[in-house]
Structure 1
Amino acid sequence: MDVSSFVLLSHEQALRRQLDITANNMANTSTVGYKREQALFHEFVETVKDAPVEDARKTSFVLDYGAVHDASQGAFQSTGNALDVMIDGPGYLNVETPEGGVAYTRAGFVKISSTGELETSGGQRLLDPNGQPIVIPAELKNQVSITEDGTVMAGDGPVGRLAVTDFADENMLEPRGDGMLTGANGRMLGAAQTKLKTGGVEASNVEPITETTHMVEILRSYQTSQRLSADLNDMRKRAIDRLSRVG
């Protein structure tokens, strides 16, 4: 395989990666708190000393560097549940993982478990700034509200505050596969820095029309790459045919 074929192959692999990410975005259009992803690529330039002309000395390949999150905020989606919250601004709710660690989410579905603890719709316990679950007294389960700064009120007094963690580099967050994210070096936001909206959750920030258009562009780019590959193959065949006639 010659250099031109390697370049086209690297391009097609990049397009496949883009298509996978775009398809995943489309599949999560209705996923609460989901942040669309974008493929991240890097150009790798290889210098060839023995190229016949100066312009052919540098060959550009495409390297896949993974994906980055689009941190833009989704729209407020009313649910009718007074305990559901949307983070208005940066940050993630802290959630206890089955292994006992901490994960993060923007999906603000909140309910009270049978044991009186605040948890997500998936049954994971929500944590306070000290990494502890928030427990509601049994006699006050029908008198629970959440204020703008994340304070959980039961009756006339507070019983805890929802922890919200911000990350300077969103790209350090990794999906767990259960709607949660994991990451390190987060910064716990104080009450004055936390702003929640209650009675609803944050919708996905995926724009279906944009993703559909992107998918069409990827398909056209792939078709162009395939045509170039076919043209190069025809050129090689003609060259071999002409060389076979020499002498």
Structure 2
Amino acid sequence: MENSAYIALAHQNALWRRMDVVANNIANMNTPGYKGEELMFTEYLTRSLNTDSAFKDRIVFPRDIGIARDMSEGAWQSTDNPLDVAIGGEGFFVVETAAGRMYTRNGHFKLNQDGQIVGANGNPVLSTTNQPFFVAPNESQINISEDGTVSTENAVLGRLQVVSFEDEQNLRKEAGSLFYTDQDPQPVETPKLHQGVLEGSNVNAVVEMTQMIEINRSYTNAQKMIENENERQRRAMEAFRGQV
């Protein structure tokens, strides 16, 4: 098979992986705090084995090298739910999971059956003292101030822990809008939290759908290139057999 067919196959493989990323972005358009992703590519150069090729010194194969995450803030949605909290600017909430502490921008909190404030996946939300929050059965008013102080009509329960990281691209995405990292979290001393508001996904539906159409067209063009190359080789072999 000629180098052009190899390149087309490599291009298709890269497009397939990119389509997975775009499809995941679209699937999470309505997930609070979700951050859109984009596949990163580089060019792999190799020398052609065909000495007659005009491109013998530069055969380019696309190769994906990782995923870049758009950490920009998503649009805010007013919910008037006292347990919905949005972070203005940098920062992540801290939750305790079975696999250890993880971090999220999804501030869609709720009370579990024990009166504990938990995240969307049922993980306890931690305070600045690394303790969970408990609301007594007779307490009905929950207030969360801009600095993260959580209080009821009876007492102050603590302050929501908000942290940041030196390299946000190094955060590893987990299920349920959670992130994990080995980096040491740095406390955000003056967070700007907003009660009754959720940060939505920062995915732009129009951009993602446009990319999906472009990927599909590129994949089809690569497939045509492979089919044309196969047809060219078939004709060449038939012509050679006819001369023998």
Q: What is the TM-score when the length of structure 1 is the normalising length? A: 0.89
Deviation at 1:11, TM superposition (A): 0.3
| Contact 2:5–2:225 under 8 Å retained in 1 | no
Range moving further from structure 2, 215-224 or 123-132: 123-132
Name the aligned partner's letter for residue 159 of structure 1: L
- Structure 2: 5+ residue runs without aligned partners? none
| Contact 1:49–1:57 under 8 Å retained in 2 | no
Range moving further from structure 2, 18-27 or 129-138: 129-138
CA distance in 2, matches of 1:233, 1:48: 19
Show the counterpart of 1:132.
Answer: 131
Show the counterpart of 2:192.
Answer: 195
| Contact 1:175–1:182 under 8 Å retained in 2 | yes
Report the RMSD for the aligned CA atoms in angstroms. 2.1
| Contact 2:50–2:56 under 8 Å retained in 1 | no
Match of 1:115, SS? coil
CA distance in 2, matches of 1:195, 1:170: 19
CA distance in 1, matches of 2:114, 2:60: 60
Deviation at 1:50, TM superposition (A): 6.5
Deviation at 1:191, TM superposition (A): 2.9
| Contact 2:84–2:197 under 8 Å retained in 1 | yes
| Contact 1:76–1:201 under 8 Å retained in 2 | yes
Identify which of 214, 217, 229 aligns with 1:232.
229
Match of 1:56, SS? coil
Aligned residues: 244
Deviation at 1:180, TM superposition (A): 1.7
Q: What do the CA deviations read for 1:100-128 (whole angstroms, capped 9, x no partner)?
A: x1111111012333434321233210012
| Contact 1:92–1:166 under 8 Å retained in 2 | yes
CA distance in 2, matches of 1:169, 1:56: 40
Show the counterpart of 1:163.
Answer: 161
| Contact 1:165–1:186 under 8 Å retained in 2 | no
Range moving further from structure 2, 102-111 or 214-223: 102-111
Q: What do the CA deviations read for 1:109-164 (whole angstroms, capped 9, x no partner)?
A: 1233343432123321001233221234555x323211111122234753211111
Provide closer, same or farther for how the CA distance between residues 144 and 47 of structure 1 changes in structure 2, counting only shifts above 3 A: same
Name the aligned partner's letter for residue 185 of structure 1: Q
CA distance in 2, matches of 1:53, 1:113: 68
Show the counterpart of 2:183.
Answer: 185
Match of 2:150, SS? strand
Deviation at 1:92, TM superposition (A): 1.2
Q: What do the CA deviations read for 1:30-79 (whole angstroms, capped 9, x no partner)?
A: 11111111112221111347633563222111212232211111111111
Name the aligned partner's letter for residue 69 of structure 1: R
Show the counterpart of 1:46.
Answer: 46
| Contact 1:51–1:57 under 8 Å retained in 2 | no
| Contact 2:40–2:66 under 8 Å retained in 1 | yes
| Contact 1:116–1:136 under 8 Å retained in 2 | yes
Deviation at 1:17, TM superposition (A): 0.7
Range moving further from structure 2, 119-128 or 156-165: 156-165
Name the aligned partner's letter for residue 52 of structure 1: D
| Contact 1:148–1:197 under 8 Å retained in 2 | yes
Q: What is the TM-score when the length of structure 2 is the normalising length? A: 0.90
> 2:86 aligned with 1:86, yes or no?
yes
CA distance in 2, matches of 1:188, 1:136: 27
CA distance in 1, matches of 2:119, 2:49: 60
Equivalences for residues 71-110 of structure 1 within 5 A = 71-99=71-99, 101-110=100-109
Identify which of 213, 219, 222 aligns with 2:219.
222
> 2:204 aligned with 1:207, yes or no?
yes
| Contact 2:2–2:229 under 8 Å retained in 1 | no
